[in-house]
């Protein structure tokens, strides 16, 4: 995969650091500043900026699940008029993420066409992977944060004073349960599909697929008796799982060879997926055509670049989740 090397864009495959013994290992994100109501330090003492309407923008791709979960949080928190949004082309080529037309990155940086320009504007000597999402400061002309898990929690609370939206997807009373689910879901499902799809040895693929479907089986059992992962309330754990589930049958099942079962074959998971899709503000974050074009456009996965016609999945079909107690979120 191309990436930046000392501030220069290198188009050949220099991201070998993400492959070890034929297995895919995701490179950690490195911009980890925070936004708080008044600019005081973040929850772990991170340097922070103050929440202001119109100052920040999310740079995303509708292909990417990590980016899509931040779009979902932006919608659920009613931040559409507070935090801007710019989406890259879904096909990730030799120039990385690109914008179909140059986009405004603020007075200091000006207009950009290539996503990697945001990284070099923030750190002229940056070396490493160039990823979405990016939470960008239009005023300072720099990346605030490029870790989607952090961005979820920033958007969950930083702008509440401006919007009056008190919905809480990471409530203190449920944090232990949320964190308990987030860790294995990330390792086995969110990142697990990539470990399967990018594996370069049979052993690495087998290990990834076994852990992936073992976790899906566990989730199916849990959701048979719980409406949401942490019980009766929708939380960030559900959003983090949703973005992988909604891509599974249309992309990962075929392109990434995650094909032991489909999500449609799991009664509870498939009903749960449809309920989340039908939550106000969520379906707008899902662009199936972009997802299929992007994943089937990965050259080393699908050299011919042929995008399959199916499967046809109706996420608007009725679900049965109302049989279980609970319907809501904290803070409403």
Residues annotated as catalytic are: 64, 194
For residue 285 the two structure tokens come to 């974050």
The CA angle 239-241-243, to the nearest 5 degrees, is 70
**Rounded to whole angstroms, what are the CA distances from 190 to 6, 111, 122, 124?**
30, 33, 28, 31
Whether 129 has a binding-site annotation, put simply, is yes
Pick the closest to residue 319 from 258, 288, 277 (CA basis): 277
Paired residues of 137 in beta bridges: 56, 142
CA 23 to mean position of chain CA atoms: 21
Residue 11 known to bind ligand:
no
240 vs 248: CA distance, rounded Å? 13
Whether the upstream peptide bond of residue 54 has omega within 30° of 0, thus cis, is no
257 marked among binding-site residues: no
Q: Is 97 annotated as a binding residue?
A: yes
* CA–CA separation, 210 and 196 (whole Å): 9
- The answer to whether residues 242 and 276 touch, using CB atoms and an 8 Å cutoff, is yes
User: Does 147 count as an annotated binding residue?
Assistant: yes
Q: Can you state the percent helix, strand and coil of the chain, rounding each to 5?
A: 40, 15, 45
Can you list the alpha helix ranges (DSSP code H) found in 28-163?
A: 65-76, 116-122, 148-157, 160-163
SS3 at position 137: strand
DSSP state of 93: B
Q: Determine if residue 48 is labeled as part of a ligand binding site.
A: no
Supply 178's token pair: 């949320």
Q: How many CB atoms lie within 10 A of CB 318?
A: 11
User: Residues forming the annotated binding site?
Assistant: 97, 129-132, 147-148
User: Residues forming the annotated binding site for glutathione?
Assistant: 97, 129-132, 147-148
């Amino acid at each position: 995969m191309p990436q930046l090397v000392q501030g220069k864009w290198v188009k050949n495959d220099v991201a070998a650091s993400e492959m070890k013994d034929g297995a895919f290992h995701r490179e950690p994100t490195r911009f980890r500043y925070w936004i708080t109501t008044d600019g005081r330090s973040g929850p772990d003492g991170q340097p922070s900026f103050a929440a202001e309407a119109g100052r920040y923008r999310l740079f995303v791709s509708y292909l990417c699940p990590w980016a899509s979960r931040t779009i979902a949080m932006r919608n659920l928190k009613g931040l559409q008029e507070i935090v801007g949004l710019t989406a890259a082309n879904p096909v990730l080529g030799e120039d990385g993420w690109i914008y179909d037309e140059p986009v405004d990155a603020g007075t200091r940086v000006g207009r950009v066409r290539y996503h990697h320009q945001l990284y070099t504007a923030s750190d002229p000597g940056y070396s490493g992977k160039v990823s979405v999402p990016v939470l960008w400061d239009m005023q300072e002309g720099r990346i605030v944060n490029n870790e989607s898990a952090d961005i979820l929690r920033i958007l969950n609370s930083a702008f509440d004073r401006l919007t009056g939206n008190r919905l809480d997807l990471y409530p203190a009373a449920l944090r232990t349960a949320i964190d308990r689910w987030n860790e294995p879901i990330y390792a086995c499902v969110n990142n697990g599909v990539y470990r399967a799809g990018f594996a370069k040895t049979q052993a690495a693929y087998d290990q990834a697929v076994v852990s992936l479907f073992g976790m899906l089986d566990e989730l199916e059992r849990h959701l048979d008796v719980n409406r949401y992962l942490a019980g009766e309330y929708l939380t960030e754990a559900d959003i983090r799982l949703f973005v992988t589930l909604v891509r599974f049958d249309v992309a990962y099942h075929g392109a990434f060879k995650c094909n032991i079962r489909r999500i449609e074959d799991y009664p509870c998971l498939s009903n749960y997926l449809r309920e989340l899709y039908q939550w106000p503000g969520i379906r707008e974050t899902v662009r199936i055509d972009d997802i299929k074009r992007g994943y089937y456009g990965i050259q080393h996965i699908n050299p011919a670049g042929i995008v399959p016609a199916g499967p046809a999945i109706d996420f608007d079909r009725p679900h049965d989740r109302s049989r279980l107690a609970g319907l809501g979120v904290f803070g409403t």
